[in-house]
Every structure is written in C-alpha cells, then in structure tokens.
Amino acid sequence: MRLVWQLLAVAAVALVGGQGVAAVDGKPWLTLVVGLATAVVAVLVYGWVVRRTERRPSIEVAKEGAAAGIAWGTLVGVAVFGLLILQLATNGYFDVHGRGSATGAAGLVGYMAAAAVTEELLFRGVLFRIMEARTGTWIAMISTGLLFGAYHLANPDATLWGAAAVAVEAGGMLTAAYIATRNLWVPIGVHFGWNFAAGGIFSTEVSGNGSTQGLLDSSTSGPALITGGDFGPEGSVYAVLFCLLTALVFLWLARRRGHLVPRHDRRPAGTDTATLPR
C-alpha cells in the first residue's frame, strides 16, 4: 500500500500545481512563483508520506547536499542539451535569429521546476525505488523508463518515436543519476537543466508540448529523425545518443559505489546511503 499512498500524495500535488500553473498561463512571474511553490510542496509531501508509510527518514530528499545536488545536476542537464544543440547547429539544423524573452525564460524556470520535481518524485522516487527493491536495478530501470515514455504520449505533439526516445533518455540518464547518487536532488537537477535548456535557453519544443520563448529566438529545420520534428530535439537520434553516453557514466559511477541491486538482493527500498557524485 505504500506505493499507492506515495503515488497518490505526490500526484495530488502535481495535479493541483499543474492546474495552478495553467491558470496563470501567460503571466511569467506568477508562473515562476506557482511553479516553484509546487516544487517545494511536492518535496515536502513526498518526504512526509515516505516517513509515514515506510517508518524511516526520507534520506533521498534530505536537506544536506540538496543545493549541491541540484546545482551539479542542472549543470549536467544544460551541458548535455547544449551538446545536442551544438551538433544540430554544426550541421545547419538549428539557427539563432536574435534575442528572445528574459521574462518568458523566468516563467519557464517555474514551469520546468514543477515538472522536473513532480516527475522525478513519481517515477524515480516512488516507482523506480520501490520496484528496484523487489526486482533489482535493471528490471526496474527498464520498466519505469517505458512507463515514463508512455506518460509523454499524452502531450499534444507526441509521437511513438518521441515517447520511445524519452523512455531511453529518462529511463537511462535520469534513472542512472539516481542510482549513482541515491538521492533525488541530482536527477531533479538533470531533469530541470535539460528541460530549461530546451525551452528557457534555446526556445525549442519540449516533449511535444509546443514551442516556447526563452532567451534565444531560434528555429530548427531538417529531417525529423535528426531534429526531433514537432516533438522537439528530445526526439533526435543525437539526443538518444548523448543521453545514453551520460547514463553510462552514471552507471559506471554507480557500479564503483556498489549501488547496483541484483535481482536476488531484495533489500528494503530506500535503505541505501544518499551520496553525491565525487
């Protein structure tokens, strides 16, 4: 029942917060405030429900190391997406026409923060963590990655290929970030950095949710397999490649730290020590 209660608690915050963000659509500063508030409340609710249902400290969202974890993760997310854009631009598929909107980018900080936090709490904090304790790392990683990809099929410009790409990218890079560090701050940072770079910096479509106006006025053109088409650069084969390479680095780190859980080692969920990348 802990899985149900944890999912319901975080999903309720995500739903209410999502409605709040939608209600202030077109008002960037209110979006910033509502989005950040949603992120904070989601973390507090997650910590509370985990402590109540599992009778343990919610170490994966402990205050210690939170700032460093988010900062490192954000840096990784922005860097990986930046490499993707560099690859597209080098091949003539991405063009910058001028400056975009700093105000629009500020609103996207709140929007992306709410999305990154609630999705990581649901998919890595609840689903992956509890499933891993029962099935081992690899089965849980593949299963929750597929679920995350399917979740994005509901987006307006979603495609099967785009959802499959997200399943690999999130199921690989974001889950591996959690496995390597055993805290949720780093994957939250990676998720936020990736999404904000996409929408808030380079003004591209994000997961089939339509175009955004960030710091740059830009456009993409070319084969959908390379650019991602209407789904956005996340649907690019280059995105899949770069995220897989990043996931391999995190998994290498996880193996060194002994964080991979074999199927026969069914330890209680959340018993690993939370650490930050060294």
The share of the chain scoring above pLDDT 90, in percent, equals: 82
Q: Which of 27-36, 83-92, 157-166, 244-253 has the lowest mean pLDDT?
A: 157-166
Confidence at residue 275, expressed as pLDDT on a 0 to 100 scale? 43
Confidence at residue 267, expressed as pLDDT on a 0 to 100 scale? 52
Residue 149 clears pLDDT 80, i.e. is over it: yes
Does residue 272 contact residue 265 with C-beta atoms inside 8 Å? no
Q: What is the pTM of this model?
A: 0.92
Residue 273 clears pLDDT 60, i.e. is over it: no
Taking all residues of the chain, what is their mean pLDDT, rounded to a whole number?
Answer: 91
Residue 43 clears pLDDT 70, i.e. is over it: yes
Q: What is the 3-state secondary structure (H, E, C) of the chain?
A: CHHHHHHHHHHHHHHHHHHHHHHCCCCHHHHHHHHHHHHHHHHHHHHHHHHHHHCCCCHHHCCCCHHHHHHHHHHHHHHHHHHHHHHHHHCCCEEEEEECCHHHHHHHHHHHHHHHHHHHHHHHHHHHHHHHHHHCHHHHHHHHHHHHHHHHHHCCCCCHHHHHHHHHHHHHHHHHHHHHHCCCHHHHHHHHHHHHHHHHHCCCCCCCCCCCCCCEEEEECCCHHHHCHHHCHHHCHHHHHHHHHHHHHHHHHHHHHCCCCCCCCCCCCCCCCCCCCC
Question: From the CB of residue 29, how many other CB atoms can be counted at a distance below 10 Å?
Answer: 12
Q: pLDDT, tens digit, for every residue of 162-200? A: 889 999 998 899 999 999 999 999 999 999 999 999 999
Residue 87 clears pLDDT 60, i.e. is over it: yes
Residue 7 clears pLDDT 80, i.e. is over it: yes
Q: Residue 154: pLDDT band by 50, 70, 90 thresholds?
A: confident
Q: What is the mean pLDDT of residues 248-252?
A: 97
